[in-house]
Structure 1
Amino acid sequence: MAGKQCMTRLQKEYKSLLKDPVPHITAHPSPSNLLEWHFVLEGAKGTEYDGGVYHGKLVFPADYPFKPPSISLFTPNGRFATNTKLCLSMTDYHPESWNPMWSVGTILTGLLSFMYDTQATTGSITTSRAEKERLAAESLAFNAKNPTFRKLFPVWIEELARRAAAAAQPPPAPAPQAQPQTGQANGHAHAPANGHADSDAAAPNGGGGLFGAGRQDGGGGEHQNGPAGGRGGAGAGRGLGNTVVTLAVVVAVLAAVWVSSGSSGAGALLQSLFAQGGAAGGHAGPR
């Protein structure tokens, strides 16, 4: 039967832990026995215990705080054997080194610090880092099977459900890749499949285009877009050029006839040919 001083001290320590929690440590007395406390140690990030949730138990003597408690762990962790009393300076293994000024927070802080160490003691075991990491990942699900853990630490049961829901989420779909642009925003035209450039883009004023202008200043045709317009303008230009060449040849022939046949007969022939050429070319003959 715990004495009044022991009960008062444990109640005071519990209130202190609730008011000023110790980082990575949670502890609650058993609802049916104030001398039995259950605790949870959280593995620190960057260590082989990262993500681990380790459930253990403190059992206080009736004359606490003048004698130390015993400590044991339930959760497999790779550092301490489970369900085994640990030999530490603040446990009942070494009552000679116990300090009555130590509290539950002090005891569990020392236990967590010793957990990160590699020093051997009664109740300690040796495992690989990979084994400790595996046990850390499985620790919370292991604890959830314990009825006392579920009753005293409902927040961790909720955390287990959250982790399970997160693990069940499908991986995010990859972001769609941007499709290459088929047109250019600067207004330049693309060459059609037949290799001809748009004559409007190549030569908007009808001159200097790669395949000729759609409209020539000297011709009377309508402006046409594209390669067909360029070819129409060029055809009109070639027709006019052929007429001029034909007339030049006729003039040269008549000049030769003039010299050889005399001026009177040649003049009549020349006048007749000019009249025929003007009718063929669409122009009135000389007046």
Structure 2
Amino acid sequence: MAKTKVTGATSRLKQDYLRLKNDPVPYVTAEPVPSNILEWHYVVKGPEKSPYEGGYYHGKIMFPREFPFKPPSIYMITPNGRFKTNTKLCLSITDFHPDTWNPAWSISTILTGLLSFMLEKTPTLGSIETSDYQKRCLAAESLEINLKNEMFCELFPAYVDEIEELLKQRQQALLQTENNSNNSESEVTNDQQSNMHYLLTNLFVLVGFVFLAFMVKHVLVSVSND
């Protein structure tokens, strides 16, 4: 019986995978683990004009053997400021709410629901409250964090290339900023040196003029006394 259920889940997941490839979910990509089709990993690419913009958020979905008659469990792996990491998320599309689960829902439905809830601020078990500023900071940090995750690198090589290019651009921008800063400091130093030279030159001229005036006065006094 168990074997039949696994076969049923496998068949359904393969069908969902083909549908997902033909009709991708915006901002979300998902891939099954090659050795276990009941374990899927996903990446949410932060939507524009959201606190998650620029971030890549990795998580996983664990499907039961009884899928699609029982719901999956969903976890977030990358810190994101919305969900606790490595903790089951309490959503209507997860095993926290088997009473609301609909066997007709597909992987696309699950991913769409996850993205929708991520963009909301409704609290639930497994969610956390952070500011938009903190979320943006985590979005930037997510790049390097994901590159250290072997499963992420194995399943999402295209994203690995994107992230490496982004990090390269970030490093170049940082170096350019440092160079501009150094050039500005150098220009300021040169200006200061020029100003000091100008002041010293004027001081020497003034001292020379005063000395010359003193000497002329001394000569005139001497001539007058004679």
Please state how far the C-alpha of 1:167 moved relative to its aligned partner: 2.0
Aligned to 2:165: 162
**Structure 2 counterpart of 1:113, one-letter code:** S
- Identity among equivalent positions (%) equals 52
Please state how far the C-alpha of 1:160 moved relative to its aligned partner: 1.6
**Structure 1 counterpart of 2:42, one-letter code:** F
Q: Any gaps of 5 or more consecutive residues in structure 1?
A: 175-287
Cα distance in 2 for residues equivalent to 1:158 and 1:143: 12
Cα distance in 1 for residues equivalent to 2:107 and 2:39: 12
1:65 aligns with 2:68: yes
After superposition, where does 1:16-165 map in structure 2 within 5 Å? 16-165=19-168
Cα distance in 2 for residues equivalent to 1:7 and 1:74: 24
Q: The residue matched to 1:92 in structure 2 has which SS?
A: coil
Aligned to 2:196: none
Q: The residue matched to 1:56 in structure 2 has which SS?
A: strand
Q: CA offsets per residue over residues 226-261 of structure 1, 9 Å max, x none?
A: xxxxxxxxxxxxxxxxxxxxxxxxxxxxxxxxxxxx
Q: The residue matched to 2:143 in structure 1 has which SS?
A: helix
Q: The residue matched to 2:167 in structure 1 has which SS?
A: helix
After superposition, where does 1:157-236 map in structure 2 within 5 Å? 157-169=160-172, 171=176
Cα distance in 1 for residues equivalent to 2:117 and 2:163: 26
Cα distance in 2 for residues equivalent to 1:167 and 1:118: 30
Please state how far the C-alpha of 1:3 moved relative to its aligned partner: 2.4
Aligned to 1:244: none
Please state how far the C-alpha of 1:25 moved relative to its aligned partner: 0.8
Whether contact under 8 Å (2:25, 2:111) holds in the other structure is: no
Residue 12 (structure 1) aligned to one of 15, 35, 39: 15
TM-score, normalised relative to structure 1: 0.58
Cα distance in 2 for residues equivalent to 1:18 and 1:47: 25
Please state how far the C-alpha of 1:156 moved relative to its aligned partner: 1.1
Cα distance in 2 for residues equivalent to 1:90 and 1:145: 29
Q: Any gaps of 5 or more consecutive residues in structure 2?
A: 181-226
Of residues 152-161 and 164-173 in structure 1, the stretch that sits farther from structure 2 once superposed is 164-173
Cα distance in 2 for residues equivalent to 1:137 and 1:21: 25
Q: The residue matched to 2:92 in structure 1 has which SS?
A: coil
Cα distance in 1 for residues equivalent to 2:171 and 2:57: 24
CA RMSD of aligned residues (A): 1.6
Please state how far the C-alpha of 1:73 moved relative to its aligned partner: 0.4
Please state how far the C-alpha of 1:165 moved relative to its aligned partner: 2.0
Please state how far the C-alpha of 1:164 moved relative to its aligned partner: 2.1
Aligned to 2:216: none
Compare relative contact order (CA 8 Å, sep 6+) and give the higher one, 1 or 2: 2
Please state how far the C-alpha of 1:157 moved relative to its aligned partner: 1.0
